Chain A
Amino acid sequence: MAALINKLEHEGARAICSRHGNKPEALLEILHKTQQADSYLSDEALRTIADALNISRAEIHGVVSFYHDYRREAPADHIIRICRAEACQAVGSEALAAHAEEKWLTPTGGVSADRQIGLEAVYCLGNCALGPAAMVDGELHGRVTPERLETLVARRVDEAEGA
C-alpha cells in the first residue's frame, strides 16, 4: 500500500500546491510551476495536484487539455516556436516555418528524430512590427530569417552541450 501511494505521489507538485495554499483557483499557476520544473505534466503530478486541491482528475484533465501551453509528454531538448499569425505571415513566416520543417525534418507540432528540436506554432508574440517573430527556448527574436534561425538554434544547442 505504502509503495503504491509513493508511486502516485509527486513531491514537487505537492510542495507547489502547498505554497499556493492548496487553493483550486491557483490551478493554472500550479500547473505552470510544475511544468517549469519537470518540463511536462506527468500522470503522477496531475494525480497529486488533484488530491492536494481536492478536485476531480476529470476536472484537472479538462483544464490541462483546454490550454495550449500545457504538455503531457516530455518535450524536445530545444523548442522553436514560430509565430504563424497574420502580421508575421505578411513578412514570410510561412516560408520560415517550411524551412524549419525541412531543416530539422519534423512537421510543426513534432520533434526531430534525435529529439533535440521541437517545432511549434504560436499565434502572436507581440512582436508584430519586427516579424517574422520566433521564440527559441523561451527567448524572443525578431526579423528572423532562415539563416538567423539556424544560427540561433545552433547557439542554444552548443550552449547546452558546453554546459
Chain B
Amino acid sequence: MAGSVKIFIPCDAAAISVGADDVASSVVAEAARRNANIEIVRNGSRGMLWLEPLVEVETSKGRVAYGPVAAGDVAELFDAGFLEGGDHDLAHGITEEIPYFAKQERLTFARCGIIDPLSIGDYEKYGGLAGLREALKMAPAAIVDTVTKSGLRGRGGAGFPTGIKWKTTLAQQSDQKYICCNADEGDSGTFADRMLMEGDPFSLLEGMVIAGRATGATIGYIYIRSEYPHAIKTMHKAVEMFKAAGFLGGDIDGSDTRFEIDIRVGAGAYICGEETSMLESIEGKRGQIKVKPPIPAISGLFGKPTIVNNVLSLATTPVILAKGADHYKNFGMGRSLGTQPFQLAGDIARGGLVEKAFGVSLRILVEEFGGGTRSGKSVRAVQTGGPLGAYIPVSGFDVAMDYEALAQSGAMLGHGGVVVFNDTVDMAKQARFAMKFCEIESCGKCTPCRIGAVRGKETIDKIIAGEDRAKNLEILDDLCDLMTDASLCAMGGLTPMPVQSAIKHFPEDFGG
C-alpha cells in the first residue's frame, strides 16, 4: 500500500472560529469510509484568513490549497480527487503560488502555517534553533551588537530599537534580570502575536532564550491576554516540550546558559499592554501605570533590570542571529529596517497577515493584497496602529508603511494593524468610540485621561446632536490638545489621534 497522504488543517483560533475542527472531523470520517490512508497535521495558519478553513493536501507538486472548506464540502472534495490535488471550485492550486502568499517576504512568519507548531523536529528542519546555536557561541555583547546592527525595532508599537534596549540591561549589575514578553495584543485589528504563538511557538521561546543569553537574564515571563485561550494552551505545551528537549533549564544545548520561562495570563485590561502596567500585573497587582524613569530595562519586574519586548520583536531575533544582521536590514527603508507583519482587518475582501518589507504603500496593502472591501461597498477610511491610531482617508493611501513616513502624515504604524471601513461609516461615531474606549480602559492614574475621556465623549455627543457645533468642536480640540500634552502615558496621550484625524479628514461627518 502507498504511504499516507498528508493533509494540513489549521489549529489556529481564526480557522477554528469558522469551523476548522468540524472540517478535520469530517475529513477523518470520510477517509475512513473510503479506506483512504491519510495523516492529518494541525498546522498554524498561512495567514490567508479569508480562505479559512484552508485545507492543504501534500502532493508531488507541492501543497495544494482548498478553501474556505466547510464540513459539508468534504465528501465532494474526496469525489473530486483532492487527495491527489484534484481540481474543484474550492481549489486554489499550489499554496505557495497564490499571489497573496507568493508576494510576501516572510522572515518572522517563515514557518507559520507550514509546520506542525508543536513538533521540534519540524521546527528544526525548517530553520529553527539555528539562531540560538549561533548565539550560544557568541559573547553577550556580540549578540546585542548583531541585533542592534540589524535595525530591529520594537514591534509592540513604540518602535524603540531592540538592540539598544538590550544593551542597557546587559550593562546593569544585578543578581537577577528578567525577560518579559508582551503578548497582550489588545489593539483592534491585530492578531499577529496570536498567529505566531499558535503557529510557531518555539520561535518565540528561542527568541527569549537568545534575549536571556544576550542580557544575562535567566527568567522569562510571557504575559498573554486572557482573550487568547488557544494561544495560552499552545504556549504552555511548547514550554514543556522545549524544556524536555533541553532548550530551557540549565546548560541549554550543552552551554553554560540557563533560562526558564513561565506563562502569565492577563485578566481583560487593555492598559496592561503598556509595559509598566504589564509588569505590575505580572506582580499580581492592579495594572496601574508607573512613572518612567526608571525605565524597566534598568528597574522593572520586582525592581530588577527587565527587558519588555513584544512577541514579534523576540520571535524575529532567531532569524537575525541565524542569517546575520545584514540579511535582515536589507529589507525595508530608511530607519525602518526589516519586515513588518501587517494585519488586514475590518471590511476587507482578503483579510489576513501580510509580512512585507517596510515601505510598502497602504494602497498596495488595501487594494492589491486586500482586494478592497468584503461587502462590495467602496472604501472610505482606514485606521492604522490600533485604537490609538489615526484614521486615514483614501486620498492618503499612497503613504509608505514605515515608522517615519506614517508619523509624518499624522498617523502611526503601531503593531501593524490595518482596519478598513466602507462608505457607510460615520466618523463622528468612530471618534466618539475612541473616547469611550479610553474611558473604559483608562487606568485612572491621571486626570487628563480619566476625566478627559468622559468629557470628550460628552462633547462629541453634543456635536452629533447638532448642539452649538462650532463651539463644541473648539472645546473638543482644546481637550484633545490637553490630553495629548498632559497625559502620563500614551493611552490618554494618543486617544486624540483617532478623534482629531477623523475631524480633520471627514469634517462633513461633524456637521462641517
By a beta-carbon cutoff of 8 Å, the part of chain A in contact with chain B is 23-29, 31-32, 62-63, 66-70, 85-91, 122-131, 133, 138, 140-143
Contacts and interface: CB of A to CB of B under 8 A. Distances in A.
11 contacts: A26-B284, A28-B266, A63-B286, A66-B287, A86-B419, A123-B188, A126-B228, A129-B344, A138-B229, A140-B230, A141-B17
Contacts of A24: 284
Nearest to B272: A67
Nearest to B420: A90
A86 B13 contact: no
Interface in B156-200: 185-191, 194
Nearest to A135: B227
Contact of B387 (A26, A86, A91, A133): A86
Contact of B49 (A88, A125, A130): A130
Contacts of B338: none
Nearest to A65: B286
- Which one of A63, A90, A128 has the highest number of Cβ atoms from chain B below 10 Å of its Cβ? A90
Nearest to A84: B433
* Interface-central residue, A26, A91, A138, by most chain B CB under 10 Å: A91
B305 interface: no
A69 B224 CA distance: 14
B422 A86 contact: no
B343 interface: yes
A90 B421 contact: yes
A67 B269 contact: yes
B283 interface: yes
A69 B267 contact: yes
B285 interface: yes
A32 B224 CA distance: 13
Contacts of B17: 127, 130, 133, 140-142
Interface string B31-53: 00000000000000000011010
Contacts of B387: 85-86, 123
Contacts of A32: 226, 265, 267
B345 A129 contact: yes
Given A28-B284, A87-B188, A89-B433, 9 more contacts: A26-B284, A32-B265, A66-B443, A67-B268, A86-B346, A86-B387, A91-B347, A122-B227, A128-B191
A128 B267 contact: no
Contact of A29 (B264, B351, B422): B264
A63 B437 CA distance: 20
Contacts of A87: 188-189, 345-346, 417, 419
A141 B18 CA distance: 6
Contacts of A127: 13-14, 17, 191
B229 A142 contact: no
A132 to B, nearest CB: 11
Contacts of A133: 17
B281 interface: yes
B352 interface: yes
B348 interface: yes
Contacts of B347: 90-91
A124 B356 CA distance: 24
Contacts of A130: 14, 17-18, 49-50, 52, 351
B88 interface: no
Nearest to B192: A126
Contacts of A141: 17-18
A129 B268 contact: no
B374 interface: yes
Contacts of A126: 13-14, 185, 190-191, 194, 227-228
A66 B375 CA distance: 38
B227 to A, nearest CB: 5
A141 B343 CA distance: 19
A128 B343 CA distance: 9
A162 B321 CA distance: 55
Contact of B348 (A27, A28, A63, A129): A129
Given A126-B228, A128-B188, A86 B430 contact: yes
A70 B188 contact: no
Interface in B240-274: 264-270
B285 to A, nearest CB: 6
Nearest 8 interchain pairs by C-beta: A129-B351, A85-B188, A27-B284, A68-B268, A67-B267, A90-B346, A128-B345, A142-B17
B343 A143 contact: no
Nearest to A35: B267
Given A70-B267, A128-B190, A28 B50 contact: no
A88 B374 CA distance: 13
Contacts of B491: none
Contacts of A131: 345-346
B282 interface: yes
B268 A90 contact: no
B265 A86 contact: no
Interface string B336-376: 00000001111110011000000000000000000000110
Given A62-B286, A124-B188, A68 B267 contact: yes
Nearest to B434: A86
A140 B13 CA distance: 7
A1 to B, nearest CB: 31
B383 interface: yes
B348 to A, nearest CB: 7
Q: Specify which of A31, A32, A133, A140 lies most central, judged by the most chain B CB atoms within 10 Å of its CB.
A: A140
A26 B387 CA distance: 30
Contacts of A26: 284
B120 interface: no
